[in-house]
Chain A
């Protein structure tokens, strides 16, 4: 079998919570050897965040943590212990990549900042993913994905125009924009290092990738002076374009109509739209003018339908339509995700067999391998210290007794 693209790459992983942990997980699933450095004295809060196996809390029972940390090993190291930085340095000396998403200054406090690391490991690729970057007037500010989404403008832009901003409901920047941009930058740096031998420092501010995705709205302001506003489910040319109720509780379908042909297909499925016999909404301009009324009438018709049956009927005529699926639907009903083998069951020492997301990247020759479920806290401390860092058993036991591995 072909080697995974990151085989032979070792990552000293100081990341925690959402964005950082998922960045290094992407590397781990594609062959990198990722060693997560954790401590019970400053626990990764995802370990204490629901959901838990059987609803019973425990640091090795969080499905949230597990999904973000597959294919990694975990060592426990209390960086505040006087002997910890030396062990961290030994790990870094054997690594190609260092990753962290602490507030700026944290790694420096332990003598593990980029400058210090580059002094003994010249070609290291080192990424810091703080909230607003490693320097500047707001560099030390604190936040999470949802506050970051607010600061970037995304929160403001999601929701109905006549109601408060709705945002995206999850810590979106943590889950996709920041991990993907972080991983892309790391991989590009790795490509460069393979060509030239040169390492470098990557400073990712967790606001900037999300703002980059909003580029057109930024430019509409800087060039046209127009401040983008919330627009519900409206957008551009398509009309109607909306989310309509279906049979059952909290069941919905999204439908987008881009041309008159699709519109007449909607009529063939839901019945012709002739509210008032004189007004047939065949014309795009008319549809736009009477959008609110149109949405109301469509909703009255879709209400009679099962969402999935309606989607199939509309898709059979080429109309973009999709069931608003919830997590249960994705896992139990969605034939496409099943076809792509998106949900993977992995065996975990304390949680038993549970469900994980496969990375949504299908490589034809070297597919991702989730070669292990999430590690228990400190599961691999001894293994890494002895086998990788070359400590003797007695050395390890002595250090262990000192409390450095808490």
Chain B
């Protein structure tokens, strides 16, 4: 019954233009048959996104496209043409899940919205990942990752207190919409597996972003305090970023969660013969009010910097962890690529990029399942790569396909 993949047999149509490709990638790498449907000629908008392999500005060389579409097959189809819509309905009749990131109402206007597809196939699930969700006063607002980080409240908490807030790197707002989109899709698919009825999964990226605020909303609700950003300073004494000989490290040794490691840190400072570090033994160092004071932060910085600045981030990371002190190197991508633990786990995958003939090293499965491992089954599709294969399986003849191609439908 099992071919070694958790989602084998599950069939997914991915209509993502710009925001939602990671959602479908999670399904595809987990073994679902995911078909990416792109506009003929231009393909989806993500193909235009930098960086490019070898800096070659070509739709088949976009790194974000190549990375976020692994294990998917790809077809082209013009949904603006009625022949394209008919073909889409034929396709949808055989599928379990449709993922889309179009403007709210756009698929409805084409007669391909959730209600229309559910009439053809009641068990179908449709997941819509959009900036603000399907309805509401901001549903049609223009947005990008930065404005969504802003509207979701995360941006206010990022950056230096004396300057404008700065974004989370790498389109994290979109990423959050994708992750919750994948969980929501999976929940609805499980529901359909049990009941035979699908449903519409409505994801607002802005709303997903609010989940990254930690306890900020509750701080306002319960204590009427508005949390803000603190980069460059310690969050509490003992928790923050410190410069070292070749970069920086992040230590998290102050505060409630870390309190059980504090003694290890103090012992380390003593072994390093940091002058007057015995004061760190005093009970006030477990008092949150004291840890939040400037005096405590200055005292800690003065002492810990003496240890940090003479050593490399790698030395500090190993020594701290040997002593069970929560400290990590602030890694660059070069550090991540040579991280020994990731190598041990076989985290990185090698994926063939046919247009250039090279093998590309990229993150592989973000979790390890013992019976049904997630894996990259094939590289991202080139534009229209599987048209023949997929359309002929739907019963479209060679002749018909040629005519559709001629008409620009595929």
Contact = CB atoms under 8 A, between A and B. Distances in A.
A216 B175 CA distance: 12
Contacts of A150: 241, 249-250, 328-331
B340 interface: yes
B169 A154 contact: yes
A185 interface: yes
A327 B164 contact: no
Given A49-B215, A142-B326, A235-B146, A219 B176 contact: no
Contacts, number: 532
A53 B156 contact: no
Interface in B245-269: 248-252, 255-259, 261
Contacts of B361: 218-219, 222-223
A156 B139 CA distance: 33
Given A188-B372, A321-B147, A357-B211, A363 B218 contact: no
B188 A5 contact: yes
Contacts of A146: 235, 239, 250, 252
A319 B186 CA distance: 34
A362 B136 CA distance: 13
Contact of A194 (B147, B193, B223, B324): B193
B218 A64 contact: yes
Given A143-B252, A360-B203, A335 B175 contact: no
A276 interface: no
A223 B166 contact: no
Contacts of B372: 188-189, 192, 200
A337 B345 contact: no
Nearest to B67: A215
Which range contains the number of B residues in contact with the other chain?
A: 35 or more
A176 B329 contact: no
Contact of A55 (B184, B223, B251): B223
B327 A147 contact: yes
Nearest to B259: A45
B211 A366 contact: no
B220 interface: yes
A331 B138 CA distance: 16
Contacts of A238: 144
A279 interface: no
A158 B167 CA distance: 7
Nearest to A245: B164
Interface string A146-181: 111111111111111001111111111001110011
A365 B231 contact: no
Nearest to A17: B257
B341 A327 contact: no
Interface in B324-357: 324-337, 339-342, 344-345, 347-348
A330 B210 contact: yes
A396 interface: no
Given A156-B331, A207-B342, A327 B191 contact: no
A183 B367 CA distance: 11
A1 to B, nearest CB: 12
B214 A233 contact: no
B53 to A, nearest CB: 6
Contacts of B157: 168-170
B164 A244 contact: yes
A378 interface: no
Given A51-B222, A219-B362, A220-B51, A143 B326 contact: yes
Contact of A189 (B6, B66, B330): B6
B105 interface: no
Contacts of B204: 336, 340, 360, 362
A56 B28 CA distance: 48
Interface string B181-193: 0111011111101
Given A180-B180, A243-B165, A354 B221 contact: yes
Interface in A314-357: 315, 318-331, 334-337, 339-340, 342-343, 351, 354-355, 357
A143 B147 CA distance: 31
Nearest to A211: B363
B172 interface: yes
Interface residues of A, number: 158
Contact of B223 (A50, A204, A230, A250): A50
B334 A144 contact: no
Interface string A370-395: 00000000000000000000000000
Contacts of B165: 243, 252, 324
A238 B345 CA distance: 38
Interface string A79-122: 00000000000000000000000000000000000000000000
Interface string A280-319: 0000000000000000000000000000000000010011
B302 to A, nearest CB: 17
A171 B371 contact: no
Contact of A171 (B1, B30, B214): B214
B369 to A, nearest CB: 5
A235 B166 CA distance: 12
A290 B352 CA distance: 40
A63 B333 contact: no
B307 interface: no
Interface string B302-326: 0000000000000000000100111
Contacts of A70: none
B64 interface: yes
Given A170-B213, A223-B63, A337-B206, A252 B321 contact: no
B112 interface: no
- Top 9 closest pairs, chain A to chain B, by CB: A63-B218, A322-B147, A166-B231, A180-B179, A157-B169, A339-B136, A5-B191, A150-B250, A361-B184
24 contacts: A6-B190, A45-B259, A49-B257, A51-B222, A150-B329, A150-B331, A155-B241, A160-B163, A170-B214, A176-B180, A180-B179, A192-B371, A208-B363, A219-B53, A222-B337, A228-B169, A253-B150, A315-B142, A327-B220, A328-B226, A351-B222, A362-B204, A363-B188, A363-B200
Given A153-B336, A176-B208, A330-B153, 18 more contacts: A51-B225, A132-B341, A144-B326, A147-B251, A147-B328, A160-B160, A172-B212, A180-B182, A195-B1, A198-B2, A207-B342, A213-B170, A228-B169, A255-B147, A322-B151, A326-B226, A361-B201, A365-B198
